[in-house]
Chains A and B, each alone.
Chain A
Amino acid sequence: MSEDLIARVAAVIAKTQKIPPDSVTIDKTFAELKIDSLDGINILFALESEFDVDIPDEAAREIKTVREMVEGIEKLLAVKNR
C-alpha cells in the first residue's frame, strides 16, 4: 500500500463524510468513523470516480475498515493497469 494511495482514499472518505482529513487513518473502522450503509455506498461512488474503477457490489459489502477499502482499491487498480 503506497502512502499516496492511502492519502487519496482517506481524502475521498473525509470529503464525502464531511469530516477532517486527519481523522481518517488506516486503522480506523467504518463504525468508528460513523460510516453507515448509505454513507458506505456514497463513498464507493466517490471512489469509483476518483480512481475510474467499478467496485463490485458483493466485494464492497464485506469492507468494514479503511485498510480493507485501500486494499480493495489497490487490487482493482492492479487489474486495471495490467
Chain B
Amino acid sequence: MSIRRVAVTGIGVVSPFGDTFGEFWTGVAGGVSAIRPTTLVKEGTVRFPNAAEAAGFNALRHFDEKEASFLDRFAQFAAVAAREAVANSGLKIEEQLRERCAVVTGSSAGGQITKDENFHSLYALNGRVSPLTIPLVMDNAGASRISQEFGIRGPVYTVSTACSSSNHSIGQAFWMVRNGIVDAAIAGGSEAPFAPGFLKAWEAMRVVSPDTCRPFSLGRRGLILGEGAAMLVLEPLESARARGAQVWGEVAGFGMSSDAHHLTQPLAEGAALAMRNALGDAGIAAEAVGYINAHGTGTQANDATETQAIRAVFGTHSDRLLISSTKSMHGHALGAAGALEAAATLAALRGGLIPPTANFLEPDPHCDLDVVPNHSRLAEIEYALSNSFAFGGLNAVLVFRRA
C-alpha cells in the first residue's frame, strides 16, 4: 500500500463572521471577537448573556423553502460549507470520482434545535412530534446531504466525539486519502447548539463565561458557545499538483488518545499522548512545530491542563512555540470546533500570520506560554498542530504543513 501526501485544496466555512471562509479568516486574522449578546434564544433563558452565533445565516439564501425545512440548522451549515469548499478546490466530482470520494463529518449534538422544538411540542403544546424529527436530528444528516448534493457514493459517515468530533473526522478522512482508500474527501464538522434545552444543560455545567472567552488569561471565566461549520477538501498532493489546484497546505499527521480517567476533568497525560501520536504519525520532531492552535476553551481546567501537556511534549521548545486559541473569537463550536480551527491554522501557515488569543487580560502563571495575546503576529512556520480535547477524555490532534 502506497502512502500518499495529502493536500487541502478547498476550504469552506460558515461562522459568526459570515457564510464564507474569507469572512471567517478576515475576522480571526484581525483579532476580532464575534462574541455578542445572544439573539437566537429568548433573553433570560440562561444565565450567560453572550455567544458566538452565526446570526446572519439565512437558510433561504442557500436552499429553497422545502429543502430548508428538511434540514436542521447544523446540516444546513454542513452543506453550505461543503459547497464552498468544493468550489474553492476547483475539484470536479465527476462519475469516476464519486465512488472513490469520502465524506466524513463531525457533530457533537446533531439536530438539537429540531429535537428541542419537537419535544417542546410533545410535552407543552399538542402532544405531537413531526415525522421529520428522526431524519433531521440524526448526527449524520449533514454528511448525507453532502453525499446527495455531489452524488458521492464512497465512504460517508459521521464521528461524534463531543468537542473532538471534527478533528477525529478530518483525521480519519486524511488517513483514507493517505492510504489510497479514497482519492478525495470532504471532511470537517458542523454544529448548531442554540436550542433552549441544550443551553440550559450547558448552564447547569457551570463552565460558560458570564462575559467573554479569555483563554489562558488571568481572569478567564469559562467558555463561550459558538456555532457554524467548516469543511476541507482533501486530495493526494500529487494529483492536486497535477491538475494545477491551489494547495492551502497539507494534513501531515493525526494522533488520538483517551484519558481513561473522568467524564469531564481533563488529564494532561492524555492530551500529551495525542500530541505525541500526531507528531509520530507525521514523522516529525517536536522541534519542527512552530504554532499550536490550542483547544484553549477559556475554562480554568482546560487551559492549565493544556499548558502542562504542551510543556510535557515540547520541553524547552515550548518557549519558542506560538500558541493561540481562536475560540476567543469564534467561540467554542463543539463538534465543529476542530474544523473551524483547521481552517484558521491552514490560513495562518499559508499567510504567515498567526491569529491571536483575543480578550486577553494578563498572564496566568499556570498558563506560562506565548499565547499571542490580542494581536496577530507575522511568522513563517512550516508545521502546526491543532488540538481538540473532548468531554469523556477523548483527544484528537492534527498536524498541518505549509504548502
Contacts and interface: CB of A to CB of B under 8 A. Distances in A.
Contacts of A57: 47, 206, 210, 222
A37 interface: yes
B47 A37 contact: no
A38 B262 contact: yes
Contact of B205 (A41, A54, A61): A41
B129 interface: no
A44 B221 CA distance: 18
A45 B265 contact: no
B301 interface: yes
Q: Is the interface of B mostly helix, strand, loop or mixed?
A: loop
A58 B204 contact: no
A77 interface: no
Nearest to A36: B265
Which of A36, A41, A57, A58 has the most chain B CB within a 10 Å cutoff?
A57
Which of B47, B206, B221, B265 has the most chain A CB within a 10 Å cutoff?
B206
Interface in B175-231: 204-206, 210, 221-222
Interface residues of A, number: 11
B263 to A, nearest CB: 6
Interface string A14-57: 00000000000000000000001110010011000000001001
B265 A37 contact: yes
A5 interface: no
B263 A58 contact: no
B265 A38 contact: yes
B121 interface: no
Given A45-B204, A60-B206, A37 B301 contact: yes
Given A57-B47, A58-B221, A38 B263 contact: yes
B264 interface: yes
A72 to B, nearest CB: 14
Contacts of A61: 206
A35 to B, nearest CB: 13
Contacts of B301: 37
Nearest to B263: A38
B225 to A, nearest CB: 15
Contacts of A45: 204
A34 B210 CA distance: 28
A57 B207 CA distance: 8
A43 B214 CA distance: 27
A78 B221 CA distance: 27
Nearest to A41: B206
Given A37-B301, A57-B47, A58-B221, A44 B206 contact: yes
A36 B222 CA distance: 18
B283 to A, nearest CB: 38
Interface in B298-349: 301
Given A57-B47, A57-B210, A58-B221, A36 B262 contact: yes
Nearest to A54: B47
Nearest to B300: A61
A12 to B, nearest CB: 15
Nearest to A40: B206
Nearest to B301: A37
Contacts of A58: 210, 221
Interface in B345-361: none
Contact of A38 (B210, B221, B222, B264): B264
A60 B210 CA distance: 14
A54 B204 CA distance: 11
A36 B263 CA distance: 11
A80 to B, nearest CB: 17
A61 B262 CA distance: 19
Nearest to B208: A57
18 contacts: A36-B262, A37-B265, A37-B301, A38-B263, A38-B264, A41-B204, A41-B205, A41-B206, A44-B206, A45-B204, A57-B47, A57-B206, A57-B210, A57-B222, A58-B210, A58-B221, A60-B206, A61-B206
Q: Which 10 pairs show the lowest CB-CB distances between chains A and B?
A: A57-B206, A38-B264, A41-B206, A45-B204, A38-B263, A37-B265, A41-B205, A41-B204, A37-B264, A60-B206
Interface of A: 36-38, 41, 44-45, 54, 57-58, 60-61
Given A36-B262, A41-B204, A41-B206, 13 more contacts: A36-B265, A37-B265, A37-B301, A38-B264, A38-B265, A41-B205, A44-B206, A54-B47, A57-B47, A57-B206, A57-B210, A58-B210, A61-B206
